[in-house]
Structure 1
Amino acid sequence: MSLLSMHNRYLNGAPIPSPRKPFRSKEKCLILMIFCIFILVFCGTFLYLPELRSSSGTRESFSKMYKQIQDAGPDLLIPAPPYAEESKNNIKSNNRHFNYQADEDPHLLDDRYKLMMKIDEEQQKNQKVLERPDIALKIKFSSPKSYIENYIESEVVENMIKTVPPAKSDHYPVTVGGEDNDESIRMKRLKIVEMMRHAWDNYVKYAWGMNELKPVSKKAHNNSVFGSAPLGATIVDGLDTLYIMGLHDEFKRGREWIAKHLNFDNINMHLSVFEINIRFIGGLLSCYALTGDTLFRDKAELIANKLLPAFHTPTGIPYALINVKTGSVENYNWASASSSILSEFGTLHLEFSYLSDITNNKIFKEKVQHIRKVVKEVDKPKGLYPNYMHPKTGNWGQHHISLGGLGDSFYEYLLKSWIQSGRVDKEAREMFDEAMEAVFKHMLQESPSGLLYISDMKYDKLDQKMDALACFAGGMFGLSSKTLQNEMTNKYLTVAEGIANTCHEAYNRSTAKLAPESFKFTEGNEARAIKSSDKYYILRPETVETYFTLWRLTKNPKYRKWGWEVVEALEKHCRAEAGYSGIKNVYVPNPIKDDVQQSYFLAEMLKYLYLLFSDDSLISLNEWVFNSEAHPLPIKGHNPFYRGKH
């Protein structure tokens, strides 16, 4: 080993490197300088970049940056498109649907639309699609004419919103958008939106949280069917109309009020079971179906539970009025020896049945099915249903029969319960057809000039009178004609169009071009009110409901023409500085306003007018059925927005 040079050592024939000499002083200085520069740059990043400077530490700073990028990500990639046509209005993304603004660049719309459709096509090819669980969502609302954008938030956030997704489907209902191809029709629809803004904005300004607005006095109306209790009836009643019209900032404000303030626990007064059901429960259930937001479902269930003591009777026929705080119940003193009213206890089935399906609580459906059983089995004079039944005995009261007030929506709900069930509830349809056969035989009349009408009947005597409320029947008969072919199909359509024409005449024969509360059919006074007490108009929507339904079913342009005539009359005689008011006499040139903006004006009148001037795809009659307050409820088996647990 001593013979081997230290600079030329070998191992197995390969040279072994000599040990490295220590760094020279210059090399050490250079390495130290590089290390110092690296430390300076690294520390400077945290000291001088504002997005990373945080008192809560590095981890929170990076989390904040990540969330900002996450929120902005979709818009950085592709701008959000407007809503327009059905397919562009409801783009699928993980079973979620987004509604978009209508004022963005159409070229960007086309790019995004094509990309999303391509993604959707690829997803549909994959048959192994997992059911998406309930997820917590944060809803972000943008500018006044904007849309609701739902996005998944992986961690707990403030104002958590939990939603139930729609059923998996190849087609999802159009709930926003739905513009008609005709520009003139689109302009008319925009006018309806302006009317809604006028009614809503002034309610917000002068009566927020109260039930209704006095648009002349500019204050809350405290003598409504809900009294002075701050139940926000206009908010709950008008909320789905706001959503369908795309007024989602207003919708957000209404939702926030419901979340924080809608509470029946301390309301120490008697309220109408019927009105609470069709306006509050119906309105909340409609918003739940449209959005999947469980707040609306849960609030509806809480309110429905408050009504249950009204059903604790020997027959199961509920009382008309309930004190939701104490549970005490009673009927109206004027209602035929304190009987319950047919149109009230018969107008619960749509809401209670749907509520059971989405909550898995059978009690609600059991209550209305029992009512059905009682009224089906009781003897009926001439096959007709009188307007009064005593809740203790199950006996009929006065034999007063009407398709107007006190009777109307009982028949409507027989037909619509069958439709809502996906046409499975055959008993409801059979009861409806049998009842209408008796009505046509004993109550359908034709005036000397050829006007068809359904007269009231009292103890076998015709009253030769028809209520404005009965004008809904044109739409009802139209639906019965188009949804089932039987021996009455043609008769239903003939009567539907006849009723629509008669109600139009009641409007047209008044000075204000608005119909009175009821009108007679006697020589020289056809479709006109005679008594002063019948000459008022309180923003009733039933005739427009018929126009809308028959337009959808027949496409006869006269129904849109007649609907626009109503708009013109409302603007001329009912528009006030702070909303819309009824009038006291439709037969004078300058009628006095009654100073009440009814909550159903927003729920029914403006919704039906808006849909009358929309494409048929928007809230399609093949997918939705309207309750008596015009709140759309999904049809089981035909609408993935049913969101039922079964």
Structure 2
Amino acid sequence: MPPLRRWRPVLLLVAFWLLGMYWMFGVDDETPLAYAPGSNAVPGQQPQTGHHDVAPVSDTHGHGGAANGGDLNARRWRKLPDLFPVTGALRELPVLKARQSDIPKIQAATPQESDAALEQRLQRQKAVRDAFLHSWAGYKKYAWLQDEVTPLGGKPKNPFGGWAATLVDALDTLWIMGLEDEFRAAVEAAETIDFSRSDSDLVNVFETTIRYLGGFLAAYELTGKKYEGLLRKAVEVGELLIYMTGLVQRHPTSVLVSELGSLSLEFTKLSQLTGDMKYYDAVQRISDEFEKGQDGTKLPGMWPVQVDPSGPLFRTDNAFTLGGMSDSLYEYFPKQYLILGGALEQPKKMYEKFIDVAKKHLMRRATNPEDIPIVIPGDARVRTIDGGIKVVNSPKGQHLTCFVGGMVGIASKIFNRPDELDLAVQLTDGCVWAYEATATGIMPEIFGFIPCGGVEDSQTGPECSYSDLKWRTAVRDQYLGQKSGKDPMGTEVEKTIKTQRLTPGMLQYHDKKYILRPEAIESVFIMYRLTGDSSWMDKAWTMFSNIERLTRTKIGAASLVDVSRKDTGLMDSMESFWLAETLKYFYLVFSDFDTVDLDTWVLNTEAHPLHRPDVE
């Protein structure tokens, strides 16, 4: 998945997603909660069912917590009274009926390879591992136990409260790459993180869930549940997140659907491991509301970007997308089905209803010089035009939507929709093309493409087949206006192409940055595992080589300012998902098929593997 991965920078106040919704839908609050963040509560203790609000208060004496370095501006969390006590039984995990054999197999058979192919694959894998170690060393040297390191200045940066985001996010990557000594040292350090204190006035529930809770849970399960401290930290984070549910009295009038609907995997897994149902109860109540509202939106079958917890949940906004601010809501439907071992049909039904709408109204074929069959998801708005309702498609590709290929591919397997595996390939190839189409060989954040039909149309038909005239005409219409009368083959259009640094098929750069995102390689990895086609490894290697060449610094890897320029500048930013997701997916592409087997593990939207309950 992933939602930031999902226009994360605009999600600063979404500490208040589940909070309002969860209390609105009701929980059992009969037992006062005795937990305080930082306690050593472990599974086997009596489950707590009460919920208390927390709020930051100034820690005027400072503190010496390892994660915060004694920052005098840090905050300490305290409980507030229950203002909205409600009653009702907690939802129980559905009884596991399916076994692994009942859910169709996801991965293809392990490909046969020659000695030369094996040697090449392992060399590529080592190159990715070396890139990880380089960035990890920079983090250790300059920002240990801080959230991030700046890859140009070598300074610590704490956008997530100073809770060592990079360290926690990278735990499972360390283990997967066989860096066991580094892993053990990181676990020891992670156990010192004090989640009762924060450098920030707000807790971003979504980011805390996918990075911290997901990170601890994955590391705990990947290591065979040998490190009990990891589960204790997961419980600490889980309790903090549940605390946030008491903020209903201060919830905003609107929140993003990706924030509201993207927590099911982590909360479900925490209930599975601890036996405490309050986590699963929280997310299942929200899922029930999404299901109830699925047919009542302005685009029935999908949910708008923003919802209003204080009123009609899904009926006000008219913007729909699979990209930022919505993405991981949809990503989690097939994954939630898997993490429940196929015991609940709800996520399957919700997926099957939405995907048909997305295929019709969002996904479009894109004209490209090689006439490769590619599909790119755009955005849609529902508008009233001439007294009627019309769905207007906006042909904008986002790096964030590149997860869609992998999602559709997995769903094609587990939900018996075999015809959509080819669609998954074309969606993923759309992102590979967007990488290849720039001067740097790296995809921008957001770009405009030339739509030429729906997913059922032919790529080589008269509408989609490429010509230089067709591309230049689209450029003229975009920048000079269709009514300008300018010759598409003339000097003014040529000047526009050079000024905008457009390449054939590319229409516009809406956002030229590359911030080390993982979504494209995520789907490439999944496509390789689903098909066994080694060409996906070659595509991955080309992507990695360009990224490594252009982003590497003395300290780590830096985001790129403008991928349309060969001399793209660098930004002093290296988000934790570079180590948690991007390099992990590149590494897995070049790993054996039994390393994080997709028939055993479900990866959350931060690429943290969670074990399927129907698999031994």
When normalised by structure 1's length, the TM-score is 0.65
Confirm or deny that 1:264 pairs with 2:264: no
Confirm or deny that 1:387 pairs with 2:333: no
List per-residue Cα deviations over 1:374-400 (Å, max 9, x = no partner).
Answer: 111121333221111112224224221
Q: Residues 458 and 527 (structure 1 numbering): CA distance in 2 closer, same or farther, change over 3 Å?
A: farther
Q: Residues 279 and 529 (structure 1 numbering): CA distance in 2 closer, same or farther, change over 3 Å?
A: farther
* Correspondence list, 1:567-606, <5 A: 567-606=544-583
Q: CA deviation at 1:594?
A: 0.5
Q: Counterpart in 2 of 1:44? A: none
List per-residue Cα deviations over 1:327-379 (Å, max 9, x = no partner).
Answer: x8544xxxxxx411111111100000110111111100000000011111121
Confirm or deny that 1:302 pairs with 2:217: no
Q: Counterpart in 1 of 2:37? A: none
Q: Is the 8 A contact 1:311 1:367 kept in 2?
A: no
* Correspondence list, 1:354-365, <5 A: 354-365=269-280
Cα distance in 2 between the residues matched to 1:628 and 1:255: 22
* Correspondence list, 1:145-156, <5 A: none
1:416 to 328, 335, 339: 335
1:576 is matched by which residue type in structure 2? T
2:515 is matched by which residue type in structure 1? I
- What SS does structure 1 have at the residue aligned with 2:300? helix
2:428 to 471, 476, 500: 500
Q: Is the 8 A contact 1:240 1:631 kept in 2?
A: yes
1:413 is matched by which residue type in structure 2? Y
1:520 to 448, 451, 459: 448
2:363 to 412, 420, 444: 444
Q: Counterpart in 2 of 1:340? A: 255
The root-mean-square deviation of aligned C-alpha atoms, in Å, is 2.3
- What SS does structure 1 have at the residue aligned with 2:156? strand
Cα distance in 2 between the residues matched to 1:262 and 1:560: 41
Q: CA deviation at 1:557?
A: 1.8
Q: CA deviation at 1:186?
A: 0.7
Q: Residues 529 and 539 (structure 1 numbering): CA distance in 2 closer, same or farther, change over 3 Å?
A: farther
Q: Counterpart in 1 of 2:287? A: 372
* Correspondence list, 1:150-165, <5 A: none
2:403 is matched by which residue type in structure 1? F
List per-residue Cα deviations over 1:233-258 (Å, max 9, x = no partner).
Answer: 00000110001101111111211111
- What SS does structure 2 have at the residue aligned with 1:260? coil
2:141 to 198, 205, 216: 205
- What SS does structure 2 have at the residue aligned with 1:458? strand
Q: Is the 8 A contact 2:348 2:415 kept in 1?
A: no
Q: Counterpart in 1 of 2:165? A: 233
Cα distance in 2 between the residues matched to 1:243 and 1:527: 41
1:489 to 393, 404, 418: 418
Confirm or deny that 1:543 pairs with 2:520: yes
Confirm or deny that 1:635 pairs with 2:616: no
List per-residue Cα deviations over 1:544-583 (Å, max 9, x = no partner).
Answer: 0001000001112221111101111122110001100110
Structure 1: any 5+ residue segments left out of the alignment?
A: 1-132, 135-168, 170-177, 315-327, 332-337, 641-646
Of 445-454 and 420-429, the range deviating more from structure 2: 445-454
Q: Residues 266 and 555 (structure 1 numbering): CA distance in 2 closer, same or farther, change over 3 Å?
A: closer
Q: CA deviation at 1:529?
A: 6.6
Cα distance in 2 between the residues matched to 1:514 and 1:529: 16
Cα distance in 2 between the residues matched to 1:550 and 1:446: 19
Confirm or deny that 1:457 pairs with 2:387: no
- What SS does structure 1 have at the residue aligned with 2:508? coil
2:210 to 274, 278, 289: 278
Cα distance in 1 between the residues matched to 2:579 and 2:596: 17
Q: Counterpart in 2 of 1:17? A: none
- What SS does structure 1 have at the residue aligned with 2:448? strand
Cα distance in 1 between the residues matched to 2:430 and 2:157: 33
Q: Rg larger in 1 or in 2?
A: 1
Q: CA deviation at 1:312?
A: 4.2
Q: Identity across aligned pairs (percent)?
A: 31
Q: CA deviation at 1:527?
A: 6.4
Q: Residues 268 and 550 (structure 1 numbering): CA distance in 2 closer, same or farther, change over 3 Å?
A: closer
2:288 is matched by which residue type in structure 1? K
- What SS does structure 1 have at the residue aligned with 2:149? strand
- What SS does structure 2 have at the residue aligned with 1:630? coil
Confirm or deny that 1:288 pairs with 2:216: no
Q: Is the 8 A contact 1:518 1:529 kept in 2?
A: no
Cα distance in 1 between the residues matched to 2:131 and 2:267: 32
List per-residue Cα deviations over 1:197-231 (Å, max 9, x = no partner).
Answer: 10101100011111111111111134x3x2xx321
Q: Is the 8 A contact 1:506 1:514 kept in 2?
A: yes
Of 208-217 and 260-269, the range deviating more from structure 2: 260-269
Cα distance in 2 between the residues matched to 1:267 and 1:619: 34
Q: Residues 574 and 179 (structure 1 numbering): CA distance in 2 closer, same or farther, change over 3 Å?
A: farther
Cα distance in 2 between the residues matched to 1:470 and 1:569: 21
Q: Counterpart in 2 of 1:128? A: none
1:247 is matched by which residue type in structure 2? L
Cα distance in 2 between the residues matched to 1:554 and 1:421: 25
1:625 to 578, 602, 610: 602
Q: Is the 8 A contact 1:285 1:300 kept in 2?
A: yes
Structure 2: any 5+ residue segments left out of the alignment?
A: 1-42, 45-98, 100-110, 383-390, 451-473, 476-501
Cα distance in 1 between the residues matched to 2:208 and 2:505: 32
2:185 to 253, 267, 281: 253
Q: CA deviation at 1:530?
A: 2.4
Cα distance in 2 between the residues matched to 1:529 and 1:398: 28
Q: Counterpart in 2 of 1:311? A: 245
List per-residue Cα deviations over 1:97-144 (Å, max 9, x = no partner).
Answer: xxxxxxxxxxxxxxxxxxxxxxxxxxxxxxxxxxxx99xxxxxxxxxx
Q: Residues 298 and 527 (structure 1 numbering): CA distance in 2 closer, same or farther, change over 3 Å?
A: farther
Q: CA deviation at 1:447?
A: 2.5
Q: CA deviation at 1:605?
A: 0.6
Q: Residues 298 and 398 (structure 1 numbering): CA distance in 2 closer, same or farther, change over 3 Å?
A: same
- What SS does structure 2 have at the residue aligned with 1:545? helix
Confirm or deny that 1:190 pairs with 2:126: yes
Q: Which has the higher contact order (CA 8 A, sep 6+)?
A: 2
